[in-house]
Amino acid sequence: MNRQTVTINGPEDRQRIATWARNVDEGTIVEFRKKTRSHEQSAKMHAMLGEVANQVVWYGTKLKVEDWKNMFTASLRKAQVVPGIDPGTVVPLGIHTSTMTVDEMSNMIEAIYAFGADPEHPVTFKEPQPDTNSGSPSPEADDAPITSSAKPEVSPASGSPISPLNKAELIECCRKLMEIPAIKELEPQAKRSVLEAAKDGWKETLHPDLHDHLKSFFVSADAQIKADPKVYPSLRASAFQHFAEVLDCKAADIGGEA
- Tell me the mean pLDDT per 10 residues along the chain, length 258: 69 82 82 65 83 90 88 81 79 70 81 86 71 43 38 35 80 93 90 90 88 90 87 87 90 87
- Within this chain, do residues 27 and 43 fall inside the same structural domain, yes or no? no
- Within this chain, do residues 21 and 109 fall inside the same structural domain, yes or no? no
pLDDT value, residue 258:
63
pLDDT value, residue 138:
45
Characterize 116-144 residue by residue with b for buried, 16 or more Cβ atoms within 10 angstroms of its Cβ, and e for exposed: bbbeeebbebeebeeeeeeeebebeebee
pLDDT value, residue 217:
92
φ, ψ dihedrals at 179, nearest 5°: -70, -30
Bridge partners, residue 90, by sequence: 83
- Within this chain, do residues 53 and 126 fall inside the same structural domain, yes or no? yes
Does residue 159 fall inside a structural domain? no
CB contact at 8 A, 146 and 66 = yes
Does residue 154 fall inside a structural domain? no
- Within this chain, do residues 4 and 59 fall inside the same structural domain, yes or no? no
Does residue 148 fall inside a structural domain? no
Domain that residue 250 falls in: 164-254
Does residue 158 fall inside a structural domain? no
- Within this chain, do residues 25 and 47 fall inside the same structural domain, yes or no? no
**Residue 55, H or E segment:** helix 39-55
pTM of the model: 0.43
- Within this chain, do residues 84 and 105 fall inside the same structural domain, yes or no? yes
Three-class SS of 130-178: CCCCCCCCCHHHHHCCCCCCCCCCCCCCCCCCCCHHHHHHHHHHHHHHH
Task: For residues 190 and 85, give the distance between their C-alpha atoms in angstroms, rounded to a whole number.
Answer: 48
- Within this chain, do residues 172 and 118 fall inside the same structural domain, yes or no? no
CB contact at 8 A, 156 and 130 = no
- Within this chain, do residues 128 and 176 fall inside the same structural domain, yes or no? no
pLDDT value, residue 98:
66
Task: For residues 36 and 130, give the distance between their C-alpha atoms in angstroms, rounded to a whole number.
Answer: 21
Does residue 57 fall inside a structural domain? yes
CB contact at 8 A, 132 and 61 = no
pLDDT value, residue 3:
64
Does residue 238 fall inside a structural domain? yes
CB contact at 8 A, 243 and 174 = yes
pLDDT value, residue 119:
83
- Beta strands (DSSP E) in 189-252 are none
pLDDT value, residue 252:
92
- Within this chain, do residues 7 and 81 fall inside the same structural domain, yes or no? no
What is the pairing mode between strands 90-92 and 81-83? Answer: antiparallel
Burial class (CB in 10 A: 0-12, 13-18, 19+), 174: buried
Does residue 180 fall inside a structural domain? yes
pLDDT value, residue 171:
93
Task: Work out how many domains the chain is built from and give that number.
Answer: 3
- Within this chain, do residues 169 and 204 fall inside the same structural domain, yes or no? yes
- Within this chain, do residues 134 and 50 fall inside the same structural domain, yes or no? yes
Does residue 235 fall inside a structural domain? yes
What are the angstrom distances between the C-alpha of 204 and each of 55, 207, 211?
37, 8, 10
pLDDT value, residue 180:
93
- Within this chain, do residues 77 and 132 fall inside the same structural domain, yes or no? yes
